[in-house]
Amino acid sequence: MKYLKQLAIVLIVSLLAELMAYLIPLPVAASVYGLVLMLIGLITHIIPLRLVEDVGDFLVENMGIMFVPPTVGIIACVDELKQMWIPLLVAGIFTTFLIMIITGLVTQALIKKTGGES
């Protein structure tokens, strides 16, 4: 029963995020709104961590299965993707390096700010 209550909280946040994506005329995905709502809820203690921690751990541990539907979709569209494999490859490589650079810079800034403590 505890897991159902925790899952209900996560689903309510997801529903609110979907409503925000529908009502706010910005090109932002509902999942981004959901992450922001959950972050704000956890930081302000509107949603105590203990109320979503167990189901959150479960979802993270089983995240791999969430990639099955997109993978099937990619396999179904492989002919269309063959036509644009070079731009996709370039974009993938560029964004990978960009993310690595930004992550490194943010990590260095945090280490300097905290004095190298772990």
44 and 97 fall within a common domain: no
Q: Note the helical H segments in the chain.
A: 2-23, 30-43, 53-61, 68-76, 78-82, 85-114
pLDDT tens across the length of the chain (118 residues): 899 999 999 999 999 999 999 999 999 999 999 999 999 999 999 999 999 999 999 999 999 898 899 889 888 888 888 889 999 999 999 999 999 999 999 999 999 988 866 5
- Specify the DSSP class assigned to residue 117: -
pLDDT at residue number 101: 98
Residue 46 contacts by C-beta under 8 Å, 6 or more apart in sequence?
Answer: 40
Are residues 1 and 23 located together in one domain of the fold? Answer: yes
Name the residue range of residue 118's domain: 69-118
Q: Are residues 116 and 76 in the same domain?
A: yes
CB distance 59 to 7 below 8 Å: no
The whole-model pTM stands at: 0.64
Q: What is the pLDDT of residues 46-76, one digit of tens each?
A: 999 999 999 999 999 999 898 899 889 888 8
